[in-house]
Structure formats: structure tokens, C-alpha cells
Amino acid sequence: MNLAARAAAGGFFLRTGPFVFHVRSSMPAVTSGVALLYADHPVTDAAEFADFRVSVSPASGVRRYWRPQAIFRCDGFQPFKPLPAAQALPFLEWGMNWAIAEHAHQFLIIHAAAVERDGRVAILPGLSGSGKSTLCAALALRGWRLFTDELTLISLHDSAISPLVRPVSLKNESIEVIRRFPGATLSDPAEDTAKGTVALMKPPVESVRRADERALPAWIVFPRFGRMETTRLEPRSKAETFIELANNSFNYHVHGRRGFELLAGIIERCACLSLTFNDLEPAIALLDGLAERSRAAA
């Protein structure tokens, strides 16, 4: 039975990084999307422990036929209002992100992308529209190992980052930009979402294969896309970086002093930088150069 059929039947158990999700949906947009995007992930039908049991199902009653809607549930709980059925696939991804951010307090969770090269992780925080996910996708297709495009999971014990290798969410113009990269595989776009048009990029096979390999952070790079800007990489204040990362954490407040000391230690150890760019190619070249210099200095 293929992945789409398994999702529609009893569901399947999906391992992604440190979490196991039980995923179930009968909606064609979800089943076909999951079959495409998670084809390389470890999955099983066998009953096992699941950190989260998630589903996306069609709304009942008249909503099955008139302006159909999708409902996301996690462990039987419905945390969001229904969305249009055409947005069911990204709804699943947003819901999975919510489940981790709300419950996985064994990590300090930063709203940031993360990629790795030569055993060193670059954390890429950024607000919506900063180009964070687009840059993350491009780097993952150019030899960097994808960790995450959304939730950076930092160990409370040793500061290592755990990969959370899942599809990269791309919006609007970024979709066609990344589609042109060799090796990129994208889902069908979902239009008119709260974030505009959204498509999901399948993670590279090598990143999925190495999803259990943690690594320590070496760089914290704040990307900012601007059409009229000059592409440049500049040092950034560590104090400013601390404030921004604390503000971008989903659960910094949960960990109190422990979270403060962990974040302070990471920032002290990492190079803190701002990357302003108007084109992906020179931005990738700057980060490749950063990694090369670090490798040469090691």
C-alpha cells in the first residue's frame, strides 16, 4: 500500500527528527502531498508510540459540498478554525509545527531556519518576508544539510541542534525562484492562504538520511531580502542578537534562568551576522565562503 493510501486508511507513523507523528487524512490534497513530500522518510503502519496524533479531515454537513473546509486535529483537539479545503496540505504542516512548538519543551525552540556544513550549524532567524525559508531552501539544494526551515531545536543539556527535516514552506515569488533550482521538488501551490500562495519543497534525500545527526551552532545569521539592497554580510551585536533570539523563541519563557544561560552561551560561542541580499546566488556564495574559512581555520 502506498503512502497516500496508508494516510487515508488507518494512517501511518512518520518519524521526523526526534518526533514520531501518527498522520491520518482522507483528503486527496493531503494524501498526494504527503506521498510526494515524505517519500524518503521512515514510515511504518505498525502501532507504536506517537508523540502526536494528527489528522486533517473534511468538515461535515453542508461544508462538504459548499465551500469545502479542512479541519486539523492533534490528539483529538481542534486548535484552529477550519480552513478552505484547498489549503489542507499546508494546514497539516502548520499544525505539526504548532504541536511541536506548544509541547516539546525538552528543547529551547527558536523560530528560525537551520542548515549545516562540515559539522557546523548556521541558525537563520527571520520574520515573515525576510527571505529566511527561501534562503534555507536554496542552501539545502546547494550542498548544505537541511535541519529545519521553521523550528530550531536546541538541547538544554549540550546546546546541540537536532534536525527536524520536513518540507520547506515557500511563499509567493519564492516558489518559482526555488522551482528553477536543480533537484527541487515542490507540491502544488495552495492559493489565497493567510500567507499568500504557499508551496512545500521536499527535503533533500541526504538530509532525511542524516536526520539523527545533531550538530553544534557556529553562526547566527539574520537574513533580510531587499530588492534595492546590496548583498552584504556584516557583523552584528551579540547583545542585539540575544534580544532578537529571545523574542523569536517559542518557549524561552518556559525555561527561565536555564533558557537565559543556554542562549547566552550559544551567542557567546557563535559568530553573529546580518545578511542583506537581493539575489540568492551572491548570498549563497557569502555563506559558502563563511563555511570555507571556518573549515580552513579548524
SS3 content of the chain, % helix, strand, coil (to 5): 35, 30, 30
What are the two backbone dihedrals, phi and then psi, of residue 92, each rounded to the nearest 5 degrees? -60, -45
Say if residues 97 and 233 touch (Cβ distance below 8 Å).
no
Q: What is the pLDDT of residues 62-116, one digit of tens each?
A: 666 678 899 999 999 999 999 999 999 999 999 999 999 999 999 999 999 999 9
Contact status, residue 235 vs residue 222, Cβ threshold 8 Å: no
Asked whether the predicted pLDDT for residue 278 surpasses 70, the reply is yes
Contact 191, 86 (CB under 8 A): yes
**Who contacts 22 (Cβ-Cβ below 8 Å, separation ≥6)?**
11, 12, 13, 14, 50, 52, 53, 54
Picking from 246, 18, 221, the residue whose alpha carbon sits closest to that of residue 111 is: 246
State the pLDDT confidence band at 33, using cuts at 50, 70 and 90: very high
Alpha carbon 218 to its chain's center: 19
Average pLDDT of the chain to the nearest whole number? 93
Burial per residue of 237-251, b for 16 or more beta-carbon CB atoms within 10 angstroms, e otherwise: eeeebbebbbebbbb
Q: What count of other Cβ atoms lies within 10 Å of the Cβ of residue 231?
A: 17
